[in-house]
C-alpha cells in the first residue's frame, strides 16, 4: 500500500477520544480527511469534518480512497466490511485484539474486492511531506522527514525508534509502512518490501522484523533478487522461547520463528542485518544515501 | 488460551464427535473407582496444557482398577512439561485399527482457516511434516462459505482413506470445522483421531486453543477454562495479569519499562548487547499506556532490580501521559535504585520537561546511552546510588 497527498480519507470511529485526537494530527499534517463515521452520531462534526453513521452513507457526498479504523475490536469486522462495500480502495486497520476469524473474513472480502488492507494492529502509514494515516508521530520533525529510505515495521513504537535514528543520521524516509503485530495480516512483510522495491522515490529499504511467524524468511527469498540495498533488524533475539512477547505473533515455539533463522535467511539473501536500531543508519550509508 | 484435554473433549462431544468413555479424577481412589466402572484396560492421562505428554511420561496404561489407582498416584503432584499435575483423565482404552491426524487452524499464509489431515497420525505431526511432507494434506477454507460439501471426502480419497471409514471421518471433519468456528478457536487438533477395530471414529486426544481476542464474546468458554494458572507463573506475573498487562519475570538486574512489544523486545536485546541482563519484559503499549504507575510498581516490586531503564518511543502511546505515570509512581515509592530515561516521539517535549522539573533528571538523547548507563549501574550498583545524580546524562 502507498498513499499520497491527493488520497481522500474517512476516519471510522472519529468521535472517540483517540479517533478525534489523531484526526486532528492527521489533518494538521495535510492528510485529506473528508468524513468520519460513528454509528448514531451522523450529522455531527469533529473539527469541521462531517460525521456519518456509516461509510456507505458518507460515500454519497464524500467518497474516500482510504478508510482508517479507530473502532473497538468486536466492532472492527462490521466497520471494515462497511468500508469495503462503500468502495474504499485501502483500509488502514489500526484496531488491536480483533478476533482472528473476523480478520480472515475481512481479508477475504478485501481480496475479492481488490481492496488493500494494512494491519490489523498496525500503527499506519506515513509518506513524509505528503500524508499520514494512522497513529505514527509524523508531525515530529526529529522522527520523520522526506527522504529516500523506505521503512517496513511490524511495530509502531520500534518503528518510531528506527525512524528517529534515520533522521538523526541526516537521512529521511520515502515511506513508513507499519504492517502490524498480528499473526494474520492484510499486508505481509513481503508485500511491503515489494511495494518499496517498486516505489520510484525509494532508494533503500529498512526491514524491521521480530521473532515469530515466517514472514521475514518469506521476504528474504524476494530480497535476494533485489537491486535496492536492504538493512534489517530483528527484535526479540534475546527472548526466551515459549513466551509470547506482547504481540500475538511474537513467540518462538518448537524452534520455529526464532530470530537466528530470520537473521540467517536475510543475511543469505544479501541484506545487512544489524544488532541494534542505532546501527541502521551507518549500514545504509555505504550505499551513498 | 489452551484448553485441557478433558475440557476440549467435552466440547468435541457436544459437537457430535465421539470420545472414549471416561472421567476426571483428582485423587487415586477416584481414579480407581472410575476404572472399576469402565472395566477392562484404561489409560490414565495427566491434564496439563502441553503437547507430547506421552513422551514426557504423563500418560500411563492400566489393566486393573488397582493399577489405575497406582498410575494416578504416580502422576498426581508430579511435574509434566513444566506443569504440576492436579487432575488425571481416566478413559477406557480404545481398540485402535488406525490413527489419523486432523486439525483446523488459522493460517497466516492463506489468511484463512486451514484443514490439516494425515493418515499418519498418533505421533509427532511436525516430524511427519519434515520427513514425509506428502503425507500431510492441506485444504484452505474460505471462511465466508465454510468447508464445501464433498470437499473433505475428496481430500480423504486422496489421502487413501477408503469406505466405510471415509464417510464417517468426513462427517467428523465437518463437525470439527463447525466447532472451530463456533468457539473462535485458533486451533482444533485431534491427534490421534482413531478408527477402531469395530469401525468407529473416535477422538483419542484433543488440543484446542481459543483466540485471546475473542474471549470477550465467548463467556461460556471462560467458565469452562476457569482461572488456570500456569505452574511456572511467578506471583509478579500473576499481578501483571490482574492489571491486564503481560509481565514476564527474567533473570537479570535491569528493570525495564517500555511501550510497545517491538520496542520492549528491542530494549531487552540492547541490554543483552551491552553486557547486562534484563529483569523483566513489560510493555505498556496500546491502551495500557495510561497504566504507567501500576506498571512501575510491578517492575520495582522485583527485588532483583538494581537499576531501572525507562524507554519510551511514542506513536499511539503518548510519552507525556506515560511519563506522568512514572513520575507519580516515583514520587510515591521513592525507590532506592538509579533510573535512566530515553524518551522520544509523541509528547516528548512535555515528557522531558516533566522528568526535568519533577525528578531533576535529564533524559538521554540516545537510547543506547541510556541502556549502557543502566547496565553499568546494575553491575556496580549497591542499590544505594544517588537517584538524583544518576540520571544526569549531560
* Catalytic residue check, A199: no
Same domain, B103 and B10: yes
Same domain, A88 and A182: no
pLDDT at B387 over 80: no
CA proximity to A126, closest of A26, A233, A201? A26
What are the pLDDT digits (tens) for A127-153? 999 999 999 999 999 999 999 999 999
What are the pLDDT digits (tens) for B179-216? 999 999 999 999 999 999 999 999 999 999 999 889 88
pLDDT at position B386: 35
Same domain, B128 and B78: no
Q: How many residues does chain B have?
A: 394
Answer with the one of B93, B119, B134 that is the final residue of a domain. B93
Taking CB atoms and an 8 Å limit, are A246 and B316 in contact across chains? Answer: no
* Catalytic residue check, B101: yes
Among B residues 50-109, those touching chain A with beta carbons less than 8 Å apart: 106-108
pLDDT at position B390: 38
What are the pLDDT digits (tens) for B77-117? 999 888 889 999 999 999 999 999 999 999 999 999 999 99
Domain tally, chain A: 2
Same domain, B329 and B309: yes
pLDDT at A255 over 90: no
Nearest-Cα distance to chain A for B268, in Å, is 7
pLDDT band at A250 (very low <50, low <70, confident <90, very high): low
Share of chain B above pLDDT 70, in %: 94
Q: What is the mean pLDDT of chain A?
A: 94
Q: How many residues does chain A have?
A: 289
In chain A, where does DSSP find H-type helix?
A: 17-29, 55-61, 76-85, 100-113, 156-168, 189-198, 215-223, 259-268, 280-284
pLDDT at position B394: 32
Same domain, A97 and A162: no
**Taking a C-beta distance cutoff of 8 angstroms, is the pair A55, A66 a contact?**
no
Q: Is residue A257 part of a domain?
A: yes
Taking CB atoms and an 8 Å limit, are B317 and A159 in contact across chains? Answer: no
Same domain, A85 and A33: yes
Is this complex scored with an ipTM above 0.90?
Answer: yes
Q: Is residue A196 part of a domain?
A: yes
Q: Is residue A133 part of a domain?
A: no
- For A242, left (φ over 0), alpha (ψ -120 to 50), or beta? left
Interface check B253 vs A, CB under 8 A: no
What are the pLDDT digits (tens) for B304-316? 999 999 999 988 7
Taking CB atoms and an 8 Å limit, are B344 and A164 in contact across chains? Answer: yes
pLDDT band at A254 (very low <50, low <70, confident <90, very high): low
**Domain hosting residue B269, numbered range:** 235-390
Among B residues 322-351, those touching chain A with beta carbons less than 8 Å apart: 344-346, 348
**Domain hosting residue A268, numbered range:** 140-287
Same domain, B8 and B135: yes
Contacts of B144 in chain A (CB under 8 A): 105, 108-109
Minimum mean pLDDT among A205-214, A245-254, B130-139: which range?
A245-254
Same domain, B164 and B306: no
Model confidence, pTM: 0.92
Contacts of A96 in chain B (CB under 8 A): 286
A264: three-class secondary structure by DSSP: helix
The most confident of A149-163, B240-254, B272-286, by mean pLDDT:
A149-163
Q: What gap in Å lies between CA B227 and CA B230, rounded to an integer?
A: 10
pLDDT at A244 over 90: no
Same domain, A114 and A152: no
pLDDT band at A50 (very low <50, low <70, confident <90, very high): very high
Q: What gap in Å lies between CA B239 and CA B235, rounded to an integer?
A: 6
Q: Is residue A167 part of a domain?
A: yes
Answer with the one of B93, B108, B135 that is the final residue of a domain. B93
Cell matching residue A119: 494491519
When pLDDT is averaged across residues B247-272 and rounded to a whole number, the result is 94
Q: What gap in Å lies between CA A270 and CA A226, rounded to an integer?
A: 9
What are the pLDDT digits (tens) for B139-169? 999 999 999 999 999 999 999 999 999 999 9
Give the residues across from A133 on adjacent strands: A125
Residue of B51 and A271 predicted with greater confidence? A271
Which residue in the list B32, B83, B87, B101 is annotated as catalytic?
B101
pLDDT band at A251 (very low <50, low <70, confident <90, very high): low
Same domain, B136 and B104: yes
Count contacts between A and B (CB, < 8 Å): 180
Answer with the one of A88, A118, A148 that is the final residue of a domain. A118
What are the pLDDT digits (tens) for A22-39? 999 999 999 999 999 999
CA proximity to B283, closest of B272, B302, B267, B303? B267
B93-132 per-residue burial string, b: 16 or more CB within 10 A, e: under 16: bbeeebbbbbbbbbbbebbbbbbbbbbbbbbebeebeeee
The domain that holds A253 is classified in CATH as 3.40.50.261
Nearest-Cα distance to chain B for A176, in Å, is 13
Q: If you measure CA to CA, which chain A residue comes closest to B258?
A: A157
Interface with chain B: mutation pick from A19, A110, A160, highest number of B CBs within 10 Å: A160
Same domain, A144 and A33: no
Same domain, B89 and B100: no
Share of chain A above pLDDT 90, in %: 89
pLDDT at position B270: 97
Q: If you measure CA to CA, which chain A residue comes closest to B272?
A: A238
Same domain, B108 and B185: yes
The domain that holds A51 is classified in CATH as 3.40.50.720
Residue of B51 and A141 predicted with greater confidence? A141
pLDDT band at B381 (very low <50, low <70, confident <90, very high): very low
Same domain, B51 and B134: no
Nearest-Cα distance to chain A for B262, in Å, is 5
pLDDT at position B391: 38
Q: If you measure CA to CA, which chain B residue comes closest to A237?
A: B269
Same domain, B151 and B11: yes
pLDDT at position A288: 42
Same domain, A148 and A253: yes
Domain tally, chain B: 3
Q: Is residue A129 part of a domain?
A: no
Among B residues 199-238, those touching chain A with beta carbons less than 8 Å apart: 211-214, 216-217
What are the pLDDT digits (tens) for B342-353? 999 888 999 999
Same domain, A93 and A152: no
Q: Is residue A131 part of a domain?
A: no
What are the pLDDT digits (tens) for A55-108? 999 999 999 999 999 999 999 999 999 999 999 999 999 999 999 999 999 999
pLDDT at position B389: 35
Instruction: Kindly give, in sequence order, each residue whose CB lies less than 8 Å from that of residue B180, ignoring residues fewer than 6 positions away.
Output: B104, B113, B188
Cα distances (angstroms) measured from residue B35 to each of A43, B6, B78, B205, B242: 69, 16, 21, 18, 39
pLDDT at A245 over 80: no
**Taking a C-beta distance cutoff of 8 angstroms, is the pair B22, B67 a contact?**
no
B191: three-class secondary structure by DSSP: strand
Same domain, A148 and A191: yes
ω before B344 within 30° of 0 (cis)?
no
Same domain, A177 and A263: yes
Answer with the one of B177, B194, B229 that is the final residue of a domain. B229
The domain that holds B225 is classified in CATH as 3.30.470.20
Same domain, A87 and A165: no
pLDDT band at B290 (very low <50, low <70, confident <90, very high): confident
Taking CB atoms and an 8 Å limit, are A246 and B260 in contact across chains? Answer: yes
Same domain, B126 and B86: no
pLDDT at B296 over 70: yes
The domain that holds B324 is classified in CATH as 3.40.50.261
Same domain, A87 and A157: no
Contacts of B248 in chain A (CB under 8 A): 240, 243, 245
Same domain, B77 and B119: no
Taking CB atoms and an 8 Å limit, are A143 and B345 in contact across chains? Answer: yes
Amino acid at each position: 500500500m502507498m498513499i499520497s497527498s491527493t488520497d481522500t480519507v474517512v476516519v471510522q470511529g472519529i468521535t472517540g477520544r483517540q479517533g478525534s485526537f489523531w484526526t486532528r494530527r492527521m489533518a494538521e499534517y495535510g492528510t485529506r480527511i473528508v468524513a468520519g463515521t460513528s454509528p448514531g452520531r451522523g450529522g455531527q462534526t469533529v473539527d469541521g469534518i462531517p460525521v456519518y453513521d456509516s461509510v456507505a452513507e458518507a460515500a454519497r457526498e464524500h467518497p474516500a480512497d482510504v478508510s482508517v479504523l479507530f473502532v473497538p475490536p468486536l466492532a472492527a469486522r462490521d466497520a471494515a466490511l462497511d468500508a469495503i462495500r462503500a468502495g474504499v480502495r485501502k483500509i488502514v486497520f489500526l484496531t488491536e485484539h480483533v478476533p482472528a476469524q473476523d480478520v480472515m473474513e475481512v481479508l477475504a472480502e478485501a481480496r475479492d474486492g481488490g481492496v488493500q488492507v494494512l494491519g490489523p494492529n498496525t500503527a499506519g502509514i506515513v509518506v513524509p511531506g505528503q500524508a499520514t494515516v494512522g497513529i505514527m508521530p509524523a508531525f515530529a520533525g526529529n522522527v520523520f522527514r522526506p527522504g529516500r529510505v523506505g521503512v517496513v515495521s511490524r511495530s509502531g513504537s520500534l518503528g518510531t525508534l528506527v525512524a528517529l535514528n534515520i533522521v538523526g543520521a541526516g537521512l529521511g524516509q520515502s515511506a513508513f509502512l507499519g504492517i502490524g503485530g498480528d499473526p494474520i495480516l492484510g499486508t505481509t512483510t513481503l508485500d511491503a518490501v515489494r511495494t518499496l522495491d517498486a516505489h520510484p522515490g525509494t532508494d533503500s529499504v529498512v526491514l524491521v522484523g521480530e521473532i515469530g511467524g515466517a514472514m521475514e524468511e518469506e521476504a528474504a527469498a524476494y530480497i535476494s533478487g533485489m537491486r535496492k540495498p536492504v538493512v534489517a533488524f530483528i527484535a526479540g533475539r534475546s527472548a526466551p522461547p515459549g513466551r509470547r512477547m506482547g504481540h500475538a505473533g511474537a513467540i518462538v515455539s518448537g524452534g520455529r520463528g526464532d530470530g537466528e533463522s530470520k537473521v540467517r535467511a536475510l543475511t543469505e539473501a544479501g541484506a545487512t542485518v544489524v544488532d541494534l536500531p542505532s546501527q541502521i543508519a551507518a549500514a545504509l550509508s555505504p550505499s551513498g544515501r | 488460551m489452551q484448553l485441557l484435554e478433558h475440557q476440549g473433549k467435552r466440547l468435541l462431544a457436544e459437537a457430535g464427535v465421539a470420545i472414549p468413555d471416561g472421567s476426571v479424577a483428582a485423587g487415586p481412589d477416584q481414579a480407581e473407582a472410575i476404572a472399576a466402572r469402565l472395566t477392562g484396560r484404561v489409560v490414565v492421562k495427566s491434564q496439563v496444557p502441553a503437547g507430547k505428554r506421552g513422551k514426557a511420561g504423563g500418560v500411563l496404561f492400566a489393566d486393573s482398577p488397582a493399577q489405575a489407582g497406582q498410575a494416578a498416584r504416580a502422576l498426581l503432584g508430579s511435574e509434566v512439561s513444566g506443569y504440576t499435575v492436579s487432575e488425571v483423565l481416566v478413559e477406557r482404552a480404545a481398540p485402535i485399527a488406525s490413527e489419523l491426524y486432523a486439525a483446523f487452524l488459522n493460517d497466516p499464509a492463506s489468511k484463512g482457516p486451514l484443514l490439516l489431515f494425515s493418515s499418519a497420525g498418533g505421533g509427532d505431526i511436525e516430524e511427519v511434516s519434515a520427513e514425509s511432507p506428502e503425507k500431510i494434506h492441506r485444504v484452505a477454507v474460505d471462511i465466508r462459505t465454510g468447508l464445501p460439501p464433498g470437499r473433505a471426502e475428496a481430500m480423504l480419497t486422496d489421502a487413501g482413506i477408503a469406505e466405510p471409514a471415509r464417510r464417517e471421518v468426513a462427517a467428523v471433519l465437518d463437525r470439527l470445522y463447525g466447532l472451530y468456528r463456533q468457539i473462535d478457536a485458533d486451533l482444533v487438533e485431534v491427534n490421534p483421531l482413531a478408527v477402531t477395530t469395530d469401525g468407529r471414529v473416535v477422538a483419542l486426544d484433543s488440543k484446542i486453543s481459543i483466540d485471546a481476542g475473542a474471549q470477550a464474546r465467548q463467556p461460556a468458554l471462560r467458565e469452562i477454562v476457569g482461572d488456570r494458572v500456569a505452574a511456572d507463573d511467578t506471583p509478579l506475573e500473576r499481578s501483571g495479569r490482574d492489571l491486564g498487562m503481560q509481565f514476564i519475570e527474567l533473570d537479570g538486574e535491569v528493570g525495564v519499562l517500555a511501550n510497545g512489544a517491538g520496542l520492549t523486545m528491542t530494549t531487552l536485546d540492547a541490554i543483552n548487547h551491552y553486557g547486562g541482563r534484563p529483569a523483566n519484559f513489560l510493555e505498556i503499549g496500546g491502551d495500557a499506556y495510561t497504566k504507567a504507575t501500576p506498571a512501575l510498581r510491578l517492575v520495582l516490586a522485583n527485588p532483583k532490580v538494581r537499576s531501572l531503564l525507562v524507554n519510551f518511543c511514542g506513536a499511539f502511546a503518548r510519552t507525556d501521559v506515560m511519563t506522568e505515570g512514572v513520575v507519580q509512581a516515583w514520587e510515591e515509592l521513592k525507590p532506592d535504585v538509579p533510573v535512566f530515561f530515553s524518551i522520544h516521539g509523541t509528547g516528548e517535549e512535555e515528557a522531558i520537561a516533566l522528568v526535568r522539573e519533577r525528578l531533576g533528571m535529564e533524559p538521554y538523547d540516545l537510547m543506547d546511552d541510556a541502556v549502557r548507563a543502566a547496565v553499568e549501574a546494575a553491575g556496580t550498583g549497591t542499590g544505594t546510588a544517588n537517584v538524583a545524580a544518576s540520571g544526569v546524562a549531560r
